[in-house]
Amino acid sequence: MTQNQAHVERPFDSISGWPVLGVCLALLATAIAFAKPTSGISIGIGAPLLALILPGFFIVGPNIARVLVLFGTYRGTVRKQGIWYTNPFTIKYRVSLRAHNFNTEKLKVNDLLGNPIEIAAVIVWRVNDSARAKFDVENFEQFIAVQSESALRQITSKHPYDDGQSHEVTTSLRGSAEVVATELCAMLQQRLEQAGIEVTEARLSHLAYAPEIASAMLQLQQATAVIAARSKIVEGAVGMVEMALEQLDKNGKVQLDAERRATLVGNLLVVLCSHENPTPVLNTGTLYN
């Protein structure tokens, strides 16, 4: 099987359209001036000639390219602004060089752990090679849409939704937005290179758990947050108890044996770690009675 050779954009030097337009106007004026009142021969000859010449004109606007094809052969691309003239039989395809935004649809995809999530992305792209965009793919805008969806699915399957959910990778879709965006942009650039497309930016625009597991995952996130907060409280409480014991030992005013120290530590931890205000209990006896 023979592989089609990729096209490469090349500039084409067209003739400025202003001199040719002047010639056309002069021919029209001459035909009208020499036409006999009773005969339309001169105008009859000039009209077909003008009809043959006029299709050769074309205009190139800002950030617009014209891809020229003559009898099935690619002749080149004109990017310079202005009015130009070329062979009247040349087909002049218009290709926009401006930056475009493409918003993918919300996709339902499984992440690295198999959790169903909803995800979408916004892609900023522009045509870099007009010849490839026009000749190497059937419809480059549809090609971008399909490849963007495919790349987004592949990126999602490589990362868990949130941090700490997997020991295989350290990044996540929610916690590593910049890393995921860089990976998505690089993957899209590789896929769209054959269409002559330059990807300037790619970022996630929507990220959420699928509705069927959203409530369960919300409870998991809440439990994780509570555990993290409790761990921080206990860590701080232990530090405060150690500081209290050091101050008591340093002053030497209160002598505590091992059992009294344990009781003091327990009471302080209860006070510091309790979720509610503690209720004091007055002991009228001693610790040993």
pLDDT value at residue 280: 64
Tell me how far apart the alpha carbons of residues 13 and 281 are, in angstroms, rounded to a whole number.
97
Residue 156 domain-assigned? yes
Same domain, 117 and 201: yes
The Cβ of residue 252 has, within 10 Å, a number of other Cβ atoms equal to: 7
- Identify the CA nearest to 12 among candidates 62, 53, 68: 68
Same domain, 259 and 178: no
The CATH number covering residue 165 comes to 3.30.479.30
**Do the beta carbons of residue 6 and residue 129 sit within 8 Å?**
no
Tokens of 86: 């070329």
pLDDT value at residue 1: 42
Same domain, 150 and 205: yes
Instruction: Tell me which of 34-43, 69-78, 109-118 is least confident.
Output: 34-43
Give 126-136 pLDDT, tens digit per residue: 999 999 999 99
Which of 209, 235, 255 delimits the end of a domain?
Answer: 209
The phi, psi pair for 162, rounded to 5°, reads -125, 165
Residue-wise DSSP of 51-79: HHHGGGEEEE-TTEEEEEEETTEEEEEE-
Same domain, 48 and 130: no
pLDDT value at residue 111: 87
- Which residues does 231 contact at the CB level (< 8 Å), separation at least 6? none
Largest CA distance in the chain: 140
Write down the mean pLDDT value for the chain: 81
Which of 179, 209, 239 delimits the end of a domain?
Answer: 209
Query: What is the number of structural domains in the chain?
Result: 3
Instruction: Tell me which of 83-87, 97-101, 110-114, 212-216 is least confident.
Output: 212-216
Residue 284 domain-assigned? no
Tell me how far apart the alpha carbons of residues 134 and 105 are, in angstroms, rounded to a whole number.
25
| pLDDT interval class at 35 (50, 70, 90) | low
Q: pTM of the prediction?
A: 0.69
Residue 159 domain-assigned? yes
**CA R_g for the chain:** 38
What domain range includes position 77? 15-95
- Say what percent of the chain tops pLDDT 70: 76
Tell me how far apart the alpha carbons of residues 179 and 160 are, in angstroms, rounded to a whole number.
13
Same domain, 37 and 76: yes
Same domain, 124 and 170: yes
Which of 209, 226, 243 delimits the end of a domain?
Answer: 209
Tokens of 36: 């006999």
Tell me how far apart the alpha carbons of residues 46 and 114 are, in angstroms, rounded to a whole number.
73
Q: First vs last Cα of the chain: how many Å apart?
A: 98
3-state secondary structure of 5: coil
Give 200-213 pLDDT, tens digit per residue: 999 999 998 887 76
Same domain, 91 and 107: no
Same domain, 109 and 198: yes
Give 155-171 pLDDT, tens digit per residue: 999 998 887 666 777 88
10 Å CB burial of residue 180 (0-12, 13-18, 19+) is buried
